[in-house]
Structure 1
Amino acid sequence: MTRSEKLYTQLQDVLSGEPWYGDSVYSIVDGISFEAAYEKPAGSIHNIAGIILHMTGWTEEVMDRMNGMNAQLPVRGDWPEPGLPDEQKWKWIVEDLKLVNVNLAGFIQNFPEERWDEAVAGKSGQGETYEREVSGLIQHHIYHSAQIALLNRMING
């Protein structure tokens, strides 16, 4: 199995498959009401909508890096403000997360195998390769999906 195939498979498993640790990102997100998405439980810094915007922004940033752009914060910002509760906007936030990950999956499948070990432009330190970027983003998705699940449980009991 090539690295592209391995990373693609890992991403798909985390997003919509049956990862060994529990529910996939989409199964968690699809169970969130728009009311819960905008609620911020006491002691929470972010709400669910804001976390998903953060995940989307970092997915876009990793794709920009894979396109040879210098590493930076996401164009949308690290933690975009989701604004006031809005059911249609919530649907768009979820669809945007899914669309950007379809695009990422395509990037991974078409990324040249010989480039996975190349250093990411604008990143200092050893080991900052394209493979590490994508692996890190997959871990990022896992982390924040667990955070979303916990926030939803706090909101809905």
Structure 2
Amino acid sequence: MFSIIKEVQKAFNGDSWHGNHVMQTLNNVDPGKAFQYFIPNAHSIAEIALHLTAWTEEVTSRLMGNPDAEPAIGDWPVPVEKTPQAWERIIFNFKTANEELIRHIGNIMDEDWNDSSKEELSVAGTGITFMELLNGLIQHHAYHAGQIALLSKF
């Protein structure tokens, strides 16, 4: 499914119709702001970036046939280190996770796109397809890219 690969690439680092793709949004963040909390009870930019990485890795895992689980690094990982170098590693890890996802998508056979992940939807009681899973990740990237763009204006 070339079109879904293209949409994932656009959300990650391509020509998104809604504005900057998530990589550009992350690259535009001042490292000095990445770990700050601008809104009470809200996540920092770095925490959002780690969350994006976590779920990108989890989607790749599900596409590889692994059972659904919380991401290996957790849903909302907390940065251990809060330095410009740590921020660069967070961006690098997000980039690597997305490149790995895109490589894996390229290996999915056309007849497998309507296969269900092992995720059970609570309402329907059926799994979601690989296509639906990737569409969800694309939406997730756009949603959090908007949050990061707003937070970086503080």
Task: Determine if the TM-score, normalized by the shorter chain, exceeds 0.5.
Answer: yes
In the TM superposition, structure 1's runs of 4+ consecutive aligned residues that sit over 4 Å from their partners are none
Equivalent in the alignment of 1:85? 82
1:126 positional shift: 3.1
Q: Is 1:49 aligned to residue 60 of structure 2?
A: no
Bigger Cα displacement from structure 2, 121-130 vs 111-120: 121-130
Structure-1 separation of matches of 2:56 and 2:120: 17
The answer for unaligned runs of 5 or more in structure 2 is none
CA deviations 1:93-126 (Å, max 9, x no partner) are: 0000001101011111111111111111142433
Structure-2 separation of matches of 1:67 and 1:12: 19
Equivalent in the alignment of 1:143? 143
Among residues 69, 72, 91, which one is paired with 2:69 in the alignment?
72
Letter of the aligned partner of 2:14 in structure 1? G
Equivalent in the alignment of 1:126? 126
Count of residue pairs brought into register by the alignment: 151
Matches within 5 A, 1:92-131: 92-124=89-121, 125-126=125-126, 128-131=128-131
Structure-1 separation of matches of 2:28 and 2:101: 23
The answer for unaligned runs of 5 or more in structure 1 is none
Structure-2 separation of matches of 1:12 and 1:38: 27
TM-score (norm 2): 0.92
Bigger Cα displacement from structure 2, 139-148 vs 113-122: 113-122
Root-mean-square deviation over aligned CA pairs = 1.3
Structure-1 separation of matches of 2:41 and 2:146: 14
* Contact 1:34-1:85 at 8 Å conserved across structures: no
TM-score (norm 1): 0.91
Letter of the aligned partner of 2:115 in structure 1? E
Larger proportion of helix: 1
Structure-2 separation of matches of 1:110 and 1:99: 17
Matches within 5 A, 1:6-17: 6-17=3-14
